[in-house]
Structure 1
Amino acid sequence: MVELSLVTPIAYLKGVGPQKADLLQKELQIFTIGDLLQHYPFRYIDKTQFLKIRQLHPDMHGAQVLGRLISLKEVGEKKGKRLVGQFKDDTGSMELVWFQSLSWLKKSLTVGAPYIIYGKPSEFNGILSITHPEMELYQKAEKRIGNMRMQPVYSSTEKLKKFNLDSKGLQKLQEVAIATVYRTLNDPLPPYILQAHELMPFAQALVSIHFPENEQLMQAAIRRFKFEELFFIQLRLLRNKQLNTKKYKGHRFGEVGEKFNKFFTQRLPFPLTNAQKRVIKEIRLDTNTGAQMNRLVQGDVGSGKTVVALMSMLLAIDNGYQACMMAPTEILATQHYNGLKELLGDAICSVKLLTGSTPAKARRIIHQELEDGSLDILIGTHALIEDKVKFKNIGFVVIDEQHRFGVEQRAKLWRKNLIPPHMLVMTATPIPRTLAMTMYGDLDISVIDELPAGRKPIKTVHFFENKRLRVFGFMREEIAKGRQIYIVYPLIKESEKMDLLYLEAGLEGLLREFPMPQYHISIVHGKMSVKDKDFEMQRFVKGQTQIMVATTVIEVGVNVPNASVMVIENAERFGLSQLHQLRGRVGRGAEQSYCILMSSNKLSKEGRTRLETMVQTNDGFEIAEVDLQLRGPGDLSGTQQSGILEMKIADLAKDQALLSEARQRVIQIFQEDPNLASPENHLLVQFLNQRGAAISWDKIS
């Protein structure tokens, strides 16, 4: 008989079989016994702690009650159909309510039987109830591994529950899995790491996380698996960084030449901040090593990333290479092009713009100039990665707001030269340190954490709907001073589900308050053609309109120094990162700027926290940390496509200290044993050989 192991397909585990295996794969991505054992409990119930029904109240997050199911009946019709059960203990009764899987529940629940239920209590019309409670038949003496005081709870799905693979069913499978593979378990972490970080051994941790005898063992097991997950992520990232440095030669920019110096002495409109100088120096050092540079520059809105990118591109041109900058939208690409043209003037180097809207004749000229080397800098959108776009000698690539591009799109730019160009990735979305260490752990990271001199911090206020007339009055005052105003809405048309002030209705109200010919309004939203959008944008840029009514299409790429007020309607509907990006559209001139957050009176706790954070701070990195705490890493824009953040147990918002500890250990290992040649690191080499090649730089950046 073949001995089963962690890599054995899940279908071969006793009690699974082909049908359940197929469901486990589709519903929970469980393909092997190891995958099952990595399907950790998401919480635990202390089985010795029961509340009485009379102790329940709606403010509780969850409660466990032991009682009896007295009755079960179906009520309502069609979409309103539901199953209602009467549940009773010696202190009172309550309702249990289900809206899904009604026929299956009617078959599987036994009226008159004792149950342990768990769920969040709620109250409606004085009746206490729990919706979709977890149900478990009460059995006094049930044998389990350990004493099962801490009951694990596993995430499941409605489809799995129909095959008895609810939390309880998954727990039984975990028990079978551990018993089946326990003798074959080997610890993937070397003994010296376990000892140095006081980690529980693998086999013991596996038992203690699924069947904890007490809370101390459970917490020790959780810490062990979190460390292991973070450690191996860092091992892969830093190993890839090490290999890329060795594998990919880079163009050597040995000279700081005429174009760089001419721009610096004659065209630079303001002194560089110390942060800008530091980042340019880091790039100069990188591009003179002979290895390919992969550097992420993150800086808040308005911190001067574009100037850093331009001076880096001039460095490439001075050394005989071409450069390009790719932006995710035509608006942003055009913005960069206009900005660079203004900074450079006509005498320093040639710059052109290539987007989907570029006419065929102009496109042919650009292609020719790229190939003969007479074009120095090309700014564009996805059009840059088309096969027909060929450079004579591309040496430096800037990717702006990189998370908006797919993996293959970025990799195509990378392959535009025999020797890969240096890559500078820019983002105006501040990334929390823990997220940066995980998403971009194999990139070098630069931070521009200063704003140019003379910039006044934007004043942010939050108003409820009843203060709208006051806001209109303030807008008139600012327009009378010659300023311009943005008003941003979350939707274009009315949504049946959301009671929002949508753009079209908002516009009607605005036209009444700001009538022509005294006032002029521009409108921009995502459903407009590029030509119409550009026309409206240009009217606002030229000062022909005082108010720009828009959806979030203006989140990036609009630079109007004269605009001093940003009004965000239904601000509670936006994420923190998006609110911060929108606020960054103002505050670009010398005048005091304002951001006004309008919201309904009904705010969720999270919505209130977001708006309070915006009012309290302009620091993008502080805002990003709060955003990570509120939403978790998987929801932050662009992180999921990296594939790295699909963590089984670690939480970047809560496990920052553990991540730093794991990363420092990996750094120390590579310092002491760069090739992982010592016998004590044999296990790490095994891991990298099995899974470490799955991620490389062009896949994640």
Structure 2
Amino acid sequence: MYPVSTLDVPLSLRLPKKITKVLHNADIVTVGDLLMVAPRRYYHWGRLTPLSSLREGEDVTILAEVAGAHLVANRSGSGVRLEVSLTDGVQYLSATFFAKSQFKLAPIERLLVPGQSFLFAGKVGAYRGKLQLTHPSFEGVDGEDIERIASRPIPIYPVTGTLTSWAIARAVGMVLDHLDDSDVPDTVPAVIRERQRIGTYAQCLRRLHRPESDEDYQQARRALAFTEAFVLQVGLAAQRRGVRSIPALASPADVPLVDRFIQGLPFTLTDTQRGAVDQIGADLAGEVPMQRLLQGDVGSGKTVVALIAFLQVVAAGHQGAFVAPTEVLAEQHTASLRALLAPLGDDAPDVRLLTGSTTPAARREIAQAMATSAPLIVVGTHALFQESVRFADLALVVVDEQHRFGVEQRASLRGAREDGRGVHELVMTATPIPRTIAMTVFGDLDDTRMGGMPAGRTPVATYLADAANAAWVERTWARAAEEIVQGRRVYVVCPRIDASDEVADAEEEGARPLASVEQVAAYLRSHPALAGVAIHELTGRTPSALKVQIMEDFSAGRAPLLVATTVIEVGVDVSEATLMVILDAQQFGLAQLHQLRGRVGRSSLPSLCIAMHRHELTDAGRARLQAFASTTDGFELAEADLRLRKEGDVLGAGQSGTATHLRFLSVRRDEALIRAAKDEAEALLAEDPTLRSHPDLARTLRQASDGQLEWMQRS
């Protein structure tokens, strides 16, 4: 049994029926829901100004008594206004409130009763030669210490629909007046609160909504942010402990087959590759299931590291699964693995490809091989997650571009063993993740970072080009022709597929259409500089079989210019590709731009990326493009991206605000706080793995499993 919390009490038991209904319409149902509606800002009344000294255009705070109030219909026949006469006992001033109907003004009319005193704040205006306030902020002060009220911050709440800031403030006040602090559970244990110098949960809520000073609400926000971070980190650490509590198969690290493979490579592993191989090898040699995130910049050689891990497992007699997000990438991985393994001759493990396009006969053959416990590596797409797919002896799952897959999908392969033993898991990404994000979103995974590039690779030169400069545009296509004449390949990337998309974009944005694959390909086929050049088109709508043929033609040079959407952004590896032209580059995010650039520069050939953008750029768009051109280091770009993006964009759609229950924690701002919460969470679970001594925390985690931790599925 978990303790009952006052925060779970329905608002219908604490508030009048009318306000409860309005709050319910905004999904504010319990006392806890209401108290977690954070003020969006705080207002300061400022020094009181006598009515006799008011001047038009000034922002003022006055103390006045309501002398009278009456509703007046506007002469235009549209809407009404509430005219309130204010006095300080000597002078008079009018305050006017406008609305579409008298019902909208009813709450204000009920509050501004003649004979009652209020603090009013706003900008002084003039109407027909007389000074007035329009829609001033106000708060009652009868019987209270005016100096204290005038000096303390006033919470201003977010307005949604018919729910006004004043209505929320009144509801919060009624709830706090009857809140017994002893009935409010503390998710963060007292000893941790003391170390982190934060108050009880109830104290923090009171300081958030009724601060006596700016320091009060600032401390409350920090404490509530730490609480959110702490719950997240305990949840992640518990997930990690849960997965690792099931013993996995150990594969010895010292394997002659792996040594032969490394010695036979046509290149030398970089120091960061060797470091990753050692870390992963040590994990695979143990019986604790590996859960590791391998971050490597585009072209850093993650595939080779993954293959060495597979060899270690296969040499021990087990099976491996390599999951890719697209068929094109799965096919490329298969070809790449087979080519790298070729020098091993008969000792090379069997590599099979399983995708949605695999024929029934081939699927049956692969299924038979998987069922016989024969050592092999199966490369596939989402097809590997189907219930009909059964491995007899799966020991390692490698997931490429992990953000394309949900936790449940990956867990289906982790739990693929019938004997109940755990499966090692390596998730890879070529989109470097800022450390704060990694701690917050991927805290259940150990993090390995591979920097640098393999020997023989050359950095890609990056240039920004204004599409309004005709000379630059023509030079771009001339350069494309020059690359092709030298036997090289050229990518041209567009944000849209066809003309119908363009028309929709133009109508929506009120601007000229964005570049589309269909029209750009047609234009380039007619361009004199590219006369006689075979040009292919590739988009997400291209049939699978045709995609394979297009990529083969491009790679072989039969069609050396490929006009595509971002379907080529991940993993496509054509060593002869030396020029990437990104049209309407302002439409893409930093990570996407970096991924696209990573499609060239995959050999010793000098390579170039031209990001062609519109002449009219927003400040944010210009900053993003300048950051892209300033460095080819993905980890630097990831940190720059974090600085440039809004909080809601950092975690992705549906992963911010109320969708995640992260109301106070900022992954951009709170790195030190997240790190402290992570350390505290791990120490707590080391002492109390089942949270038996911390029922309030256990209860919060149970509730969070349906919401706050749900977004970490990273789908």
For the residue of structure 1 that corresponds to 2:254, the secondary structure is coil
Aligned equivalent of 1:610: 624
Aligned equivalent of 1:261: 259
Aligned equivalent of 2:171: 173
Verify: 1:484 aligned to 2:489, yes or no: yes
Whole-angstrom distance in 1 between the partners of 2:83 and 2:284: 71
Q: Which moved more, 1:629-638 or 1:427-436?
A: 629-638
Aligned equivalent of 2:128: none
Say if 2:272 and 2:451, in contact at 8 Å, map to a contact too: yes
Give the aligned residue type for 1:300.
D
Q: CA deviation at 1:559?
A: 1.0
Whole-angstrom distance in 2 between the partners of 1:531 and 1:32: 55
* 1:353-390 CA distance string (max 9 Å, x none): 01111111111111111112346010001111212211
Q: Which moved more, 1:194-203 or 1:166-175?
A: 194-203
Aligned equivalent of 2:220: 221
Aligned equivalent of 1:155: 158
For the residue of structure 2 that corresponds to 1:487, the secondary structure is strand
For the residue of structure 2 that corresponds to 1:147, the secondary structure is helix
Cα pair distance change 1:282/1:49, threshold 3 Å: farther
Cα pair distance change 1:187/1:386, threshold 3 Å: closer
Say if 1:566 and 1:594, in contact at 8 Å, map to a contact too: yes
Query: Pairwise mapping of residues 549-588 of structure 1 onto structure 2 (< 5 A)?
Result: 549-588=563-602
Aligned equivalent of 2:115: none
Q: CA deviation at 1:49?
A: 8.1
- Equivalent residue in structure 1 for 2:312, among 315, 326, 332: 315
Q: CA deviation at 1:397?
A: 0.6
Verify: 1:332 aligned to 2:334, yes or no: no
Whole-angstrom distance in 2 between the partners of 1:544 and 1:104: 72
Q: CA deviation at 1:53?
A: 11
Whole-angstrom distance in 2 between the partners of 1:663 and 1:73: 63
Give the aligned residue type for 2:664.
I
Cα pair distance change 1:137/1:55, threshold 3 Å: closer
Whole-angstrom distance in 2 between the partners of 1:250 and 1:198: 41
For the residue of structure 1 that corresponds to 2:248, the secondary structure is coil
Q: Which moved more, 1:489-498 or 1:471-480?
A: 471-480
Give the aligned residue type for 1:488.
V
Q: CA deviation at 1:251?
A: 0.6
Verify: 1:369 aligned to 2:369, yes or no: yes
Whole-angstrom distance in 1 between the partners of 2:405 and 2:444: 18
Q: CA deviation at 1:189?
A: 2.8
Whole-angstrom distance in 2 between the partners of 1:490 and 1:313: 37
Q: CA deviation at 1:70?
A: 10
Whole-angstrom distance in 2 between the partners of 1:378 and 1:5: 53
Verify: 1:502 aligned to 2:507, yes or no: no
Whole-angstrom distance in 2 between the partners of 1:516 and 1:628: 40
Say if 1:251 and 1:290, in contact at 8 Å, map to a contact too: yes
* 1:268-301 CA distance string (max 9 Å, x none): 2311111111111111211222111111111111
Say if 1:297 and 1:445, in contact at 8 Å, map to a contact too: yes
Q: Which moved more, 1:252-261 or 1:486-495?
A: 252-261
Whole-angstrom distance in 2 between the partners of 1:546 and 1:50: 75
Give the aligned residue type for 1:263.
F
* 1:279-327 CA distance string (max 9 Å, x none): 1111121122211111111111111111111110111111111001111
Whole-angstrom distance in 1 between the partners of 2:61 and 2:365: 76
Whole-angstrom distance in 1 between the partners of 2:549 and 2:97: 58
- Equivalent residue in structure 2 for 1:473, among 455, 478, 490: 478
Q: CA deviation at 1:342?
A: 1.2
Query: Pairwise mapping of residues 226-305 of structure 1 onto structure 2 (< 5 A)?
Result: 226-245=225-244, 247-266=245-264, 268-305=265-302
Unaligned runs of 5+ in 1: 57-62, 76-81, 89-94, 120-133
Whole-angstrom distance in 1 between the partners of 2:233 and 2:661: 14
Aligned equivalent of 1:649: 664
Q: Which moved more, 1:4-13 or 1:215-224?
A: 4-13
* 1:584-630 CA distance string (max 9 Å, x none): 11111112212211111221111111111101111212212222233
Give the aligned residue type for 1:7.
D
Query: Pairwise mapping of residues 135-154 of structure 1 onto structure 2 (< 5 A)?
Result: 138=138, 141=141, 147=149, 149-154=152-157
Say if 2:481 and 2:529, in contact at 8 Å, map to a contact too: no
Give the aligned residue type for 2:326.
T
Whole-angstrom distance in 1 between the partners of 2:377 and 2:122: 63
Aligned equivalent of 2:675: 660
For the residue of structure 2 that corresponds to 1:352, the secondary structure is strand
Q: CA deviation at 1:22?
A: 6.4
Query: What percent of counterpart residues are identical?
Result: 34
Whole-angstrom distance in 2 between the partners of 1:74 and 1:313: 78
Whole-angstrom distance in 1 between the partners of 2:272 and 2:542: 39
Once superposed, what is the RMSD of the aligned Cα atoms? Answer: 4.0
Whole-angstrom distance in 2 between the partners of 1:73 and 1:558: 68
Whole-angstrom distance in 2 between the partners of 1:615 and 1:544: 31
Verify: 1:540 aligned to 2:549, yes or no: no
Give the aligned residue type for 1:357.
S
Aligned equivalent of 2:90: none
Aligned equivalent of 1:383: 383
Give the aligned residue type for 1:260.
V
- Equivalent residue in structure 2 for 1:600, among 589, 614, 620: 614
Say if 1:250 and 1:291, in contact at 8 Å, map to a contact too: yes
Say if 2:403 and 2:714, in contact at 8 Å, map to a contact too: no
The alignment's TM-score, normalised by the length of structure 2, stands at 0.82
Say if 2:490 and 2:560, in contact at 8 Å, map to a contact too: yes
For the residue of structure 2 that corresponds to 1:324, the secondary structure is strand
Verify: 1:461 aligned to 2:463, yes or no: yes
Cα pair distance change 1:690/1:610, threshold 3 Å: closer
Query: Pairwise mapping of residues 43-192 of structure 1 onto structure 2 (< 5 A)?
Result: 43-48=41-46, 138=138, 141=141, 147=149, 149-158=152-161, 161=162, 165-183=163-181, 184-192=183-191
Say if 2:478 and 2:529, in contact at 8 Å, map to a contact too: no
Q: CA deviation at 1:633?
A: 5.3
Say if 1:117 and 1:135, in contact at 8 Å, map to a contact too: no
Cα pair distance change 1:64/1:191, threshold 3 Å: farther
* 1:239-291 CA distance string (max 9 Å, x none): 3323432x21111112533432332222x231111111111111121122211
Aligned equivalent of 2:426: 424
For the residue of structure 2 that corresponds to 1:366, the secondary structure is helix
Whole-angstrom distance in 2 between the partners of 1:328 and 1:142: 65
